Amino acid sequence: MNERTIPSLASVALIVTCAIICGCIAPDEQKRPVNTTVPLERGWDQAAVAVLELYTLNSVSEETDNRFNGSVVSPEPSILPDSNGNPLYYQFYVQKDGEIFYAVRVSADKLLGKTVIRIGDFGYTGTNLSTNMAVNENDSSAAESGFFYGTPVPPYGDEYAQLMLDSWEAEATYAQSVMRDAENAGIDLSKPLSDEERESIGEILWKNIRQREQRITEIEEKYQVDIL
């Protein structure tokens, strides 16, 4: 009796497994893929705040001040895909008097674990000065020509993936908080700043930087890692 029952149960289990794989049934415990693509508007927040940090936080050289004073970040980026065609980075452009002179590359996938990847002139002024925040994958010429294909984000285990998501969220929350505080102060960051607005933005940045560092410290303690 038992010898006939066991093969029967095994057959049922095989049928159920095949049904799940082919999508015929979807039990509650079956995992669904999580969309980790960064919305464009959040990418712009992060790029705009990164540029503000360059020239409003501390005393800057006259050259830097002249370069960035009156500049804005365009809301229309280049979307740089990975080799599978999925958005990997957004490259936003810093303009002054209608001319591009700087760029900010931010994550288009939260699983990269960071918001700002690279910031610099990317060769627009011929010097290619840049700060590489994570990976230096190809250059501006590839992005401009439309032939950029980065390495896809690898599959992570659940805990490491959550670490990446939490780390990205800490930085993204910082940028959103800066944008919110600027809006509450009546400052439109899509337009060039006045001297008075620059001073106010500096204060807003410092306040939110301290909060960001606290969030990062909490993540480091939770996962026992060193993020900074």
pLDDT in tens, 66-84: 999 999 999 999 999 999 9
CA gyration radius for the chain? 23
pLDDT per position as a tens digit, 27-67? 333 343 589 999 999 999 999 999 999 999 877 888 888 99
pLDDT at 146: 47
| Nearest in space to 31 (alpha carbons), one of 146, 171, 161 | 161
Residue 28 Cα distances to 9, 20, 32, 35, 159, angstroms:
21, 11, 10, 18, 21
* Beta bridge pairs of residue 104: 92, 119
pLDDT at 228: 63
pLDDT per position as a tens digit, 117-154? 999 988 765 455 544 443 334 444 455 444 567 899 99
Confidence of residue 95 (pLDDT cuts 50, 70, 90): very high
pLDDT at residue 178 is higher than 60: yes
**Residue 227 main-chain phi, psi, to 5 deg:** -85, -45
Question: Which tokens go with 98?
Answer: 């209608």
In angstroms, the CA 134 to CA 166 distance is 17
Which three-class secondary structure state does DSSP give residue 132?
strand
More confident residue, 194 or 136: 194
pLDDT, averaged across the chain:
81
pTM confidence score: 0.78
